[in-house]
Amino acid sequence: MDTGPRVTSCDTDESLVAAAGLFNRYRHHYGESDGDARAEGWLTEMVRSRQLAVWTASLTSELDGLPVGLATSHEMPASLVLGRSWQVRDLYVLPEARRGGVAAALLGAVRDAALAAGATRLSLVTEPDNAAALGLYRGLGFRPVEGPTPLSLDLVPRTAT
């Protein structure tokens, strides 16, 4: 009997190794081609230092129960409300596992962890032309933020990959 995606918080060496494989697929999806060997160490360091939380999702009926989806998040101060806010940093589902509830299950796990930690808000950022993702996020209750314009400053020049 298929019970849907099974989400696991990644905090053991074994779970982080599995997450790193998906993390590299995610990075490749966005055009990053270097750092595969370093990604596992980076992900492990981020989790161990509590700068990032990582979850994977697997489908027990397919792909031998191997992870097919990944989410990362981090906590941020919410200074105006004197509280905490969480942000989903990365969300990736293997193409062959999409449209099966994996992303929703991962976001549900992040939401539950954020609520348990006392967060007042959960936010995420996506590409404006990613209609499938926008539909999913809106269906889960996420709403566009009006007003702020995100800006960034590269402190270290990016190298070509």
Q: What is the pLDDT of residue 146?
A: 87
Cα separation, 159 vs 161, whole angstroms:
6
Structure tokens, 113: 């962890």
Is 149 a member of any domain? no
User: Do 56 and 18 meet the contact criterion of CB atoms below 8 Å apart?
Assistant: yes
Query: For residues 134 and 126, is the Cβ–Cβ distance under 8 A?
Result: yes
148-157 LR contacts (CB < 8 Å, sep 24+):
150/125
- pLDDT reported for residue 62: 54
Residue 100 lies in a domain: yes
The rounded distance, in Å, linking the Cα atoms of 6 and 106 is 9
Residue 150 belongs to some domain of the structure: no
**Could you state, in chain order, the average pLDDT of each consecutive group of 10 residues for the chain (161 residues)?**
82 91 91 81 95 93 77 95 95 93 97 96 93 94 87 79 53
User: How far is it, in rounded angstroms, from Cα 161 to Cα 158?
Assistant: 9
Q: Do the domain assignments include residue 161?
A: no
Q: Which domain holds residue 15?
A: 6-139
CATH number of the domain that residue 83 is part of: 3.40.630.30
Q: How far apart are CA 68 and CA 76, in angstroms?
A: 27
pLDDT at position 105, please?
A: 97
Tens-place pLDDT, residues 104-119: 999 999 999 999 999 9
Question: Phi-psi bin for 31: left (phi > 0), alpha (psi -120 to 50), beta?
Answer: left
H-state helical runs in 5-147: 13-29, 36-48, 102-116, 131-139
Could you tell me if residue 154 is inside a domain? Answer: no
The domain total for the chain is 1
* pLDDT score for 20: 92
Question: Above pLDDT 90, what percent of the chain?
Answer: 68
Query: Is 144 domain-assigned?
Result: no
Whether 153 is in a domain gets the answer no
* Residue of 1, 5, 2 lying closest to 105 (CA atoms): 5
Q: Each residue of 121-132: pLDDT tens digit?
A: 999 999 889 999
**DSSP conformation class of 63:** G
Q: Does the residue 152 lie in any domain?
A: no
